[in-house]
Amino acid sequence: MRLDLPRLEALWLKISIGTLASFLLIIGIMAFGFHLHPASSRYAIDPTRVNETPPFDQPGLYAIGPNEYRAVIIAKLFTFIPSDLTIPKGATVHFMITSPDVIHGLSIPGTNVNIMVIPGQVNTFTYTFKRAGEYLLLCNEYCGAGHQMMMAKWTVKEE
Ligand code: CUA
């Protein structure tokens, strides 16, 4: 079937379809070629039993390789556990985070760390701390009266 479109209309149609196709192509290349995904939910646990469910029965920072760590974090009204940590410069941290109560968020200004923390959902994200200094960990989802006080501080020290 051949549509008899005015020349300009046909041109705009081609531009629209071309734009759409290139967006889809870019998203596809980023997702499957470069493995760029948003922070994702790996699995779910019972939010009422977070404190007894491994690994959240022992939140903390665990070395799992050369300058590579797993940070097991509980976000709850109105704190992060553990709150203050020190890691060496260049450390790659695999965040594992969940909440036993309400929805929180974990964001670290100056980085691309921005994780939704949903009760019972175990969310993960990986970040490499290339700059030494102090990093603020903030809750970025309104979670109640103490929301603005919900924060932690990590120190990345020069080796
Ligand atoms: Cu937790 Cu806001």
Q: Tens-of-pLDDT digits for all 159 residues of the chain?
A: 566 888 999 999 999 999 999 999 999 998 888 877 765 667 889 999 999 999 999 999 999 999 999 999 999 999 999 999 999 999 999 999 999 999 999 999 999 999 999 999 999 999 999 999 999 999 999 999 999 999 999 999 987
Instruction: Decide whether any atom of ligand 1 lies within 6 Å of the 32 Cβ.
Output: no
Distance 45 CA to ligand 1 centre (A): 20
Distance 115 CA to ligand 1 centre (A): 12
CA 94 – CA 101 distance, rounded (Å): 22
3-state class of 22 per DSSP? helix
Question: For residue 21, how many C-alpha atoms fall within 13 Å in the half-sphere facing its CB?
Answer: 6
Show contacts of 9-14: CB within 8 Å, 24+ apart. Answer: none
- Of the chain, the end-to-end C-alpha distance in Å amounts to 69
pTM assigned to the model: 0.76
Instruction: Decide whether any atom of ligand 1 lies within 6 Å of the 144 Cβ.
Output: no
How many residues can be counted in the chain?
159
Distance 158 CA to ligand 1 centre (A): 30
Give the closest residue to 93 by CA, choosing from 75, 115, 117, 121: 115
